[in-house]
Amino acid sequence: MRIAISTGGGDAPGLNAVIRAAVLSAINRGWDVLGIKRGYAGLLGEDEVIPLTKDTVRGIAHLGGTILRTTNRGNPFHYPIRQPDGTIVEVDRSGELIARAHDLGIDAIITIGGDGSLAIGQRLFECGVKIVGVPKTIDNDVSGTVNTFGFDTAVNTAIEAIDKLHTTAESHDRVIVMEVMGRHAGFIALYSGLAGTADVILIPEIPYDIERVCEKIMARDRAGRHFSIVVTAEGAYPVGGEESSIGDSLPGQERRVGGVANKIAREVQNRTGKECRSLTLGHLQRGGMPTGYDRLLATRFGGAAVRAVADGLFGHMVALQSPHIVCIPIAQVLTTTKRVDPSSDIVLTARATGISFGD
Amino acid sequence: MRIAISTGGGDAPGLNAVIRAAVLSAINRGWDVLGIKRGYAGLLGEDEVIPLTKDTVRGIAHLGGTILRTTNRGNPFHYPIRQPDGTIVEVDRSGELIARAHDLGIDAIITIGGDGSLAIGQRLFECGVKIVGVPKTIDNDVSGTVNTFGFDTAVNTAIEAIDKLHTTAESHDRVIVMEVMGRHAGFIALYSGLAGTADVILIPEIPYDIERVCEKIMARDRAGRHFSIVVTAEGAYPVGGEESSIGDSLPGQERRVGGVANKIAREVQNRTGKECRSLTLGHLQRGGMPTGYDRLLATRFGGAAVRAVADGLFGHMVALQSPHIVCIPIAQVLTTTKRVDPSSDIVLTARATGISFGD
Amino acid sequence: MRIAISTGGGDAPGLNAVIRAAVLSAINRGWDVLGIKRGYAGLLGEDEVIPLTKDTVRGIAHLGGTILRTTNRGNPFHYPIRQPDGTIVEVDRSGELIARAHDLGIDAIITIGGDGSLAIGQRLFECGVKIVGVPKTIDNDVSGTVNTFGFDTAVNTAIEAIDKLHTTAESHDRVIVMEVMGRHAGFIALYSGLAGTADVILIPEIPYDIERVCEKIMARDRAGRHFSIVVTAEGAYPVGGEESSIGDSLPGQERRVGGVANKIAREVQNRTGKECRSLTLGHLQRGGMPTGYDRLLATRFGGAAVRAVADGLFGHMVALQSPHIVCIPIAQVLTTTKRVDPSSDIVLTARATGISFGD
Amino acid sequence: MRIAISTGGGDAPGLNAVIRAAVLSAINRGWDVLGIKRGYAGLLGEDEVIPLTKDTVRGIAHLGGTILRTTNRGNPFHYPIRQPDGTIVEVDRSGELIARAHDLGIDAIITIGGDGSLAIGQRLFECGVKIVGVPKTIDNDVSGTVNTFGFDTAVNTAIEAIDKLHTTAESHDRVIVMEVMGRHAGFIALYSGLAGTADVILIPEIPYDIERVCEKIMARDRAGRHFSIVVTAEGAYPVGGEESSIGDSLPGQERRVGGVANKIAREVQNRTGKECRSLTLGHLQRGGMPTGYDRLLATRFGGAAVRAVADGLFGHMVALQSPHIVCIPIAQVLTTTKRVDPSSDIVLTARATGISFGD
C-alpha cells in the first residue's frame, strides 16, 4: 500500500502533527508514504513529491506551518495559466494529476484542507481517486466536526492579545478595537472575546448598530470604567450593510484584513470623543506552535485518517464528535457552512455577563 | 432572589472564571450573590460569608485559584472535630449549615467541586437545599461531561514540561520518567503523552509490565534513539499489582505524589543500565492562569449554572456535551467514574504512532 | 516622611512592579505613600491623589499597565487648555502643582517615565521639588542605563511574533515585513530580529536601500529559501530620506504606526514579484505581563528609588549599570538619547550570520 | 581555517543558538566547521565528529538542548575506564585527543561549557591547543561575565512555577517550599523569589535559622495572610550547618535534588502546624526554548567566539560586561566563583519589600 499526503489552503497550527501521526501510523502498518509539496503542485510538475519517512517527521509535532508547504492557489480543475499577453486562463489539469498519481503508484490520498481543498478532494473522489479528507479551518466554519486543529491556537493567541491590550486600554482610558479572523463565522471573535472579557463583540452572524456599540462604551464610561475593548471578526458588518460576498471565499483567493477594525475605531472616536485605537492580529493567528489541544486533535485526525484508508472509507472526512472521532461523507460536509448560533449558550452567557453584540 | 456560591476540593484553573460569570449573570438579573468562604466553612461559623458584587469579580477571569478559597476538608455530614484527647470525631453538622443558609436568606447554592463536593451537594439537595452543581476535576474523571475546566490547563502544563524534558533527555542520552496527576483515570498522562510525543505512557486503566517498558526503551536505543520519555499517571500500577484503593479518594484526603515516577525510574535504570531521572509535576498542574479553553468553558459553566437556578433545575449539574451545555441529575453523575477507554481512538492512535503502554 | 508616586507617558510592563516595590519599601521604613493618578493630573485637580498601602499593591507585581493610570498629555509647564472657540492654549500650571503637593504634605516625588516625564521632573526639581526619577522606555532610548523595564517584554513579544510569522512565511513562500516600535532607536528591531533570526533588519541608525533589501531576498530565493522575514523599526527610513523629525517625540504626542511596514512590503512585492505581507505589532508590545527580567528590574528600580529618597539624591534617576543599580543626575541623562551603535558587537554578529541591514 | 565546536556539562537553553551563530559566522568567513559530539567523546573515538553546515544549523536557534549532545563525564585528563573487575580507573587521554584533533586538521576549538569544561579547555590550551571558551552556567556562578545564556530562561521557568504555586497556596492556606538549582550560588532563588514575590528566600550565601523562617510565616498568618511561599536554592543550609562540600561540583558528577525543600517543608509543618507542601523544579529549569534574552546573548556569544578565533585570542573566554561582549583569560575566570553578594541592591530591595532570608 502506498499513500500520499497533501496540505492545501492557509496554514494552520497542527498541520505537521497530522502529517506526523499519519506517516507513523502508515509506516507502522508497513505502508509507503509520499508527500505532495505545495497543495497539488507536486503532482502537476510544479513542485516535488517526496518520500515521507520516520526521520522526515521526527520532532515536528509541535512545529507550526507544514513541512509540505501549502498554497491558496492551484485548483487542478481550474488551474490558472498565465498567457503570453499576461491574462490568466483556467484549465482543467485533473486528468494530468490523476495520471501522475497513478504513475507514482499512489493507492490513496489524504488531503488536509478547508472547504476549498475538501471540494477539490470530493471532485477527485468522483473521478475515482481514493480520497480521505482531514478538515482544516482556523475559523471553525467546517460543519460536521465540533472543531478542527488550529482554532484553539488562534483563540488563545487572540485572548493573549486581548489581555495585553486590556492593560494599555485601562492605563490610558482608551477604547481599543481588535480585529480577528472570521469572514463568515464569528467563532474566534466570540470565543476570545468572552474568555478575554471584552466589552463588545461583533460577528457576521449578528449585524451591529454602531450607535449601540457607542452606548455600551459610554455606559461603561459613566460607571467609571473609562476604557473598553471591542473584538470584531473581519466579517462583521452593520445592520442594513452587506455581508462580504460568498464569492471571495473561493480557493485561490486571499483575505483582505484590517479594514473593519480601523473603520469601527474611527466611527467610535467620532461619536464618543474617546481616544480609540485599532489593531489587526492578522497572520499572528495562524502561525506558531499549536496548543496542546490542537496537537492532540491533529494527532488524532492523522491516526484516524490512516484507519479510514485501511477501512476503505474513501470520500469521507475524519471529524470530531466529542468524545469520538468519526468519518462522515465529504459531500455532506460541503452542503453547509458552520456559523455561530445566536441562541447558543455561549452567546447567552456573553450577553448575561454584560457583553454587547451591538444589536 | 439570593444565591450563594461555594468552591470545594482542590483548586483548578478556571474557578474564578466560573464565579465571575455566575456573579455577573445573577446580578444582571437583579439577584443578590453571596460567597461562602472555604468550602462550607463559611456556613459553619469557621469562616466568612461575603457579598459578591461586580467589583468583587472584576479582573479575576484569568486568575488561578479561587477568591473564595477552598478545602479538601469539612464534609458537613461528617465534620471532623478534634477532641480534648487529640482524637478526631466526625459529627453531622448539616442541620446547622441548612439553618444558617436559611437565616442568610439564601434561596439556592451553586456548588463548584469534584465528586466529593457533588456528593455533599446531592445530600444537601435531598435535605431540601436548592443545589446546582458545577463539575470540577483536574483529572477529567467526572462522568456526564466531555471534560471540565482545569483539565486543558493541566494537560498544557504537562506538555510544556515534556517539551522541556525532551531537550535535556536527548542531549544527555537519558530516560526521564515524569509523573502527572490521575489516580484512577489516566487522561492527563494519555493526552499530554500523545501530544508531547512521549515514548511510553502508563495509566491506571492499562496495568504495565516493567519488562515491556524496558523493551521499548532498548528498542529505541538500538535504533539510535538513546533517550526516552516515560509519562506515568500517579495511579499507574504493574500487572498483578493493586490499584490504589478507592478509599483514598474520599473528600478530605490528600493525594500522595511522586512515588510512582521514582520507582519506575529506579527499576528501568537497574534493568537497562541507562541513566534515568524522574520528575513529579505535582502542584504545578493545578495552579496558574487557565488556558483560553478553560476560561471559556468555566465562563460557560458559570452562566449556565445561573440559568439552571432560574429554571429551577435543582439537584442538577451543568455539563459539556459538545457543542452544548446541558443539565444532568447529580445523582446520575455519581453512579460512575469516567476512565480512559483502552479501545478509544486516542489509545489506538497512540499505539499506531509507536507509543508503548507497557502492556 | 510622605512620598508620592507618579507614572507618565506610555505604559510599559513593569510599572506596577516599580510601584509595589517602592510602596512596600517606603511603608516598611514607616513612611506614608500617595499615588498621583494619571501623570500629574491628580495634583492639578483633574484626577485623584490616593493613599497607597500594602493592600493597594498586593498581587500587582506581575500585572501589566499601571494602577495609577498614565497619560501622554498634561505637561504642567505647558498645560493644554481648550478655549471657548475650540483652540488649545498652553498655560504654566506648575505653581499650582507645587502648591498642591505642599498642601498634601508631600516631601518627595518619585516620577516614573520616559524622556518627557524626566524633563518635567527636572524642571520641577529646579523649582525646588524633591524629585527622584525612574526611567521608563519601551524603546530603550534613555541614556545612562543599560536598559529599563518593559524593553525585555517588548523584545520577547516581537520574537514570539517573528516565530509565528516564520512558519506561515515558510509554508506559503512569502515575504513578511513586521513593524516594531522604535522611532529614533532600533533596539527592539535589532534584538528581536537577531534573536528571531530575521533575514533583514531595518533601523533608523542605518538608512536602507530598498534595492539591497530586495537583493537579499532574491539571493535567498535562488538558494532555495523562498521566504524571508523583514523586521523594521517604525523609524527606519531609506538612504537619502529623512528621519522623522525629533519634534514628534514631545510628550503629549502620539506615535503613528503601521505605515513603514506597509510601504516596504509594497515596494518589495513590486520589485521582486514575490508575495508580500505586512504586520504591525503596535500596542501588543507595551501591554501584558512583564517578563521575569522586567519584573526583577522594575522591582530593583522601585527599591532603589526609595533608597535614593532616603539618601537625599534628588534630581537623580536610578539606572542599571550591570550588575549595579546607580543614581545619576537627570540633567545629564537628558543631554543625549541612546541609539544603536552600528559598530557594536550585536550589529557585527547580525551581519556575520548573514542578516542584511539594507545598506 | 577549520574550527571545531564542543558542548560540555549540563545542557542549557541557548546552546544551539551559540552553535548556530558560530557556524554561520565561520562559514561566512570561508572557514570549515566540525562538531564534536558529546563533550570530547567525538575526539576520543567514543562518538562522532560531524561537519556543521548552514543546513545543519537551520532553524535551531530557538530549540533547547544541543545538537552536539553533551555529557557531565569524560574529562580527557582523567578519563574513567571501567576495569574487568568493575572498578573505574582514570587515565589521561589528552594526548590522544590532541593527536586526533591534529589529524582532523582542526585549527581551533570553541568549547562551550561551565567551570569544569573551561578548566579542561584551559589545560588543553596549556598543551598548545587553540581554545576559545564560551561560558555556560544555569546557576550564573561563572565569574567575569554579568550572566550567561540559560540563566534567564531558568529564572523565568522558576517565576512561572511560583506564580502557579501562589494561586494554590492562597486558595488552600498552605505553605509551599519550592527548590530551585544553585548549589553554591543562590542567584536563581534570589531573582525568581524577588520577581515572583516569594515570602522567604533561602540561599547558600546566607545560612538560615529555621526559627526565623517560621516566625516570618506566622507573622503573615497573624496578619491574615494564611499562606506563604518559600523559595530555596538546593544549596541552602542552616546556620551552624555545613555547605555542600565543594567536592561534589567536580565535572562528571551529578547533582542530587529535592532533599532540601522536603526537609524544610517538614520542619516548618512540625513547628507551625500549618499544612506544608514541597516541590522541586529539577530538570524543568534547564530544558526547553530559551527566552528572547538568552537567544540573543547566546547568539552574541557565538558570533564573538568566532571573532576571538580570528583575532587569535586563544585561552580566552567571551563574556558579557554590559553593554559589551569582551574577551577575558580563562585562567583568570577559574580563580573565583561568582556568588550572591548579601549587600547587593537586590538583597537590600528584597529585604525592604518584606522578604525574609531566614537570618
Cα A87 to Cα C282: distance, rounded to the nearest angstrom: 39
Say whether D25 and C349 touch across the interface (CB within 8 A). yes
D31 near C CB under 8 A: no
Chain B nearest-CA distance from D124, in A, is 24
Question: Are C74 and C90 in contact, with CB atoms under 8 Å apart?
Answer: no
Cα C270 to Cα C268: distance, rounded to the nearest angstrom: 5
CB atoms within 10 A of CB C249: 18
C-alpha count within 13 angstroms, C-beta hemisphere, residue B251: 26
Report pLDDT digits (tens) over A23-64. 999 999 999 999 999 999 999 999 999 999 999 999 999 999
C172 near A CB under 8 A: yes
Say whether B69 and D288 touch across the interface (CB within 8 A). no
Cα D131 to Cα D119: distance, rounded to the nearest angstrom: 11
Question: Are C149 and C7 in contact, with CB atoms under 8 Å apart?
Answer: no
Cα C134 to Cα C15: distance, rounded to the nearest angstrom: 10
Cα D19 to Cα D66: distance, rounded to the nearest angstrom: 8
C11 near A CB under 8 A: yes
Cα C90 to Cα C75: distance, rounded to the nearest angstrom: 9
C-alpha count within 13 angstroms, C-beta hemisphere, residue D252: 15
- Using the CB atoms, write b or e for B5-14: b if 16+ within 10 Å: bbbbbbbbbb
How many C/D residue pairs have CB atoms within 8 Å?
A: 134
Chain A nearest-CA distance from C134, in A, is 18
Segment (H or E) for B329: strand B324-329
Question: Are A334 and A315 in contact, with CB atoms under 8 Å apart?
Answer: no
Which residue from D66, D167, D282 is facing B65, i.e. has the nearest CB? D167
Long-range contacts of A331-337 (CB under 8 A, 24+ apart): A331/A122, A332/A144, A333/A118, A333/A133, A333/A135, A333/A142, A333/A143, A333/A144, A334/A115, A334/A118, A334/A119, A334/A122, A335/A143, A336/A143, A337/A115, A337/A141, A337/A142, A337/A143, A337/A184, A337/A185
Chain B nearest-CA distance from D345, in A, is 29
Cell (9 digits) for A352: 448575561
CB atoms within 10 A of CB D272: 17
Confidence of residue B256 (pLDDT cuts 50, 70, 90): low
Confidence of residue B263 (pLDDT cuts 50, 70, 90): very high
What pLDDT is recorded for position A19? 98
Residues of B in contact with A295 (CB under 8 A): 159, 195-196
Cell (9 digits) for B147: 471534560
Say whether C353 and D24 touch across the interface (CB within 8 A). yes
Residues of D in contact with B13 (CB under 8 A): 167
Q: What is the Rg, in whole angstroms, of the alpha carbon atoms belonging to chain D? A: 22
Task: Cis check for the bond before A251: say yes or no (omega within 30 of 0).
Answer: no
Question: From the candidates A168, A279, A294, which should be mutated to test the interface with C, based on the most C CB atoms within 10 A?
Answer: A168
Task: For residue C78, give the DSSP letter.
Answer: G
Cα C331 to Cα C192: distance, rounded to the nearest angstrom: 31
Segment (H or E) for B198: none
**The pLDDT of residue C254 is above 60:** no
Question: Are C298 and C199 in contact, with CB atoms under 8 Å apart?
Answer: no
Cα C65 to Cα A164: distance, rounded to the nearest angstrom: 9
Please give the single-letter amino acid code of residue C41.
A
Cα D267 to Cα D214: distance, rounded to the nearest angstrom: 9
Say whether C287 and A173 touch across the interface (CB within 8 A). no
Cell (9 digits) for B66: 479561587
In this complex, the chains that touch C, judged by 3 or more CB pairs closer than 8 A, are A, D
Q: C134 pairs with which residues across the strands?
A: C112
Say whether A171 and C66 touch across the interface (CB within 8 A). yes
Mean pLDDT score, C165-189: 95
Each residue's pLDDT tens digit in chain D (359 positions)? 999 999 999 999 999 999 999 999 999 999 999 999 999 999 999 999 999 999 999 999 999 999 999 988 889 999 999 899 989 999 999 999 999 999 999 999 999 999 999 999 999 999 999 999 999 999 999 999 999 999 999 999 999 999 999 999 999 999 999 999 999 999 999 999 999 999 999 999 999 999 999 999 999 999 999 999 999 999 999 999 877 643 333 333 444 566 899 999 999 999 999 999 999 999 999 988 999 999 999 999 999 999 999 999 999 999 999 999 999 999 999 999 899 999 999 999 999 999 999 99
Chain D nearest-CA distance from C156, in A, is 5
Q: What is the CATH number of domain C2-149+289-322?
A: 3.40.50.450
Question: From the candidates C19, C62, C171, C276, which should be mutated to test the interface with A, based on the most A CB atoms within 10 A?
Answer: C171
What pLDDT is recorded for position C286? 92
Instruction: Please tell me which residue, A119 or C258, carries the higher pLDDT value.
Output: A119
Q: Strands, E, within chain D: which ranges? A: 2-7, 32-36, 49-51, 79-82, 88-91, 108-113, 131-135, 175-180, 200-202, 228-233, 276-280, 316-321, 324-329
Which residue from A28, A195, A323 is facing B292, i.e. has the nearest CB? A195
Question: Are C167 and C176 in contact, with CB atoms under 8 Å apart?
Answer: no
Angle at A288 between CA A247 and CA C198, to 5 degrees: 105
Say whether A303 and B353 touch across the interface (CB within 8 A). yes
Identify which of A98, A70, A21, A111 has the alpha carbon closest to the alpha carbon of residue A301.
Answer: A21
Say whether B299 and A62 touch across the interface (CB within 8 A). no
Q: Say which residue the cell 460512575 belongs to.
A: B336
Domain ranges of chain C: 2-149+289-322, 154-285+341-352
Among residues 86-105 of chain D, which lie with CB inside 8 Å of chain C?
none
Confidence of residue C115 (pLDDT cuts 50, 70, 90): very high
Residues of A in contact with C290 (CB under 8 A): none
Cell (9 digits) for C2: 510622605
Q: Say which residue the cell 494537560 belongs to.
A: B155
DSSP SS3 for A19: helix
A160 near C CB under 8 A: yes
Cα C235 to Cα C179: distance, rounded to the nearest angstrom: 9
Chain B nearest-CA distance from A96, in A, is 34
Cα D232 to Cα D261: distance, rounded to the nearest angstrom: 7
Which residue from D62, D156, D196 is facing C291, i.e. has the nearest CB? D156
Instruction: Please tell me which residue, D251 or C100, carries the higher pLDDT value.
Output: C100
Mean pLDDT of chain C: 94
D220 near C CB under 8 A: no
Give the homologous superfamily in CATH for domain D154-285+341-352.
Phosphofructokinase domain (3.40.50.460)
Please give the single-letter amino acid code of residue B201.
I
Mean pLDDT score, A230-245: 88
Question: From the candidates C58, C156, C295, C320, which should be mutated to test the interface with D, based on the most D CB atoms within 10 A?
Answer: C295
Question: From the candidates A170, A171, A181, which should be mutated to test the interface with C, based on the most C CB atoms within 10 A?
Answer: A171
Tell me how far apart the terminal alpha carbons of chain A are, to the nearest angstrom. Answer: 56
Report pLDDT digits (tens) over C27-83. 999 999 999 999 999 999 999 999 999 999 999 999 999 999 998 888 999 999 989
Residues of B in contact with D176 (CB under 8 A): 283
Segment (H or E) for D212: helix D210-222
**The pLDDT of residue B257 is above 70:** no
Closest Cα in chain D to C326: D345
Residue C163: active-site member? no
Question: Are B157 and B282 in contact, with CB atoms under 8 Å apart?
Answer: no
Which residue from A156, A299, A323 is facing B349, i.e. has the nearest CB? A299
Q: Say which residue the cell 523544579 belongs to.
A: D281
Chain C nearest-CA distance from D79, in A, is 36
What pLDDT is recorded for position D320? 97
Q: What is the ipTM of this complex?
A: 0.94
Segment (H or E) for D33: strand D32-36
Catalytic residue among D11, D115, D139, D152: D139
- Do the domains spanning B2-149+289-322 and B154-285+341-352 agree at the CATH topology level? yes
In this structure, the dihedral spanned by the alpha carbons of residues C214, C218, C221 and C225, taken in order and rounded to 10 degrees, is: -40
B160 near D CB under 8 A: yes
Question: From the candidates D153, D180, D281, D293, which should be mutated to test the interface with C, based on the most C CB atoms within 10 A?
Answer: D293
D336 near B CB under 8 A: no
**The pLDDT of residue A106 is above 60:** yes
Question: What percent of chain B stands above pLDDT 90?
Answer: 91
C286 near A CB under 8 A: yes
Class of domain D2-149+290-322: alpha beta
Closest Cα in chain C to A176: C283
**The pLDDT of residue C141 is above 70:** yes
Say whether A163 and C71 touch across the interface (CB within 8 A). no
Confidence of residue A242 (pLDDT cuts 50, 70, 90): confident
Say whether A295 and B195 touch across the interface (CB within 8 A). yes
Cα C71 to Cα C73: distance, rounded to the nearest angstrom: 5
Among all residues of B, which ones are annotated catalytic? 139
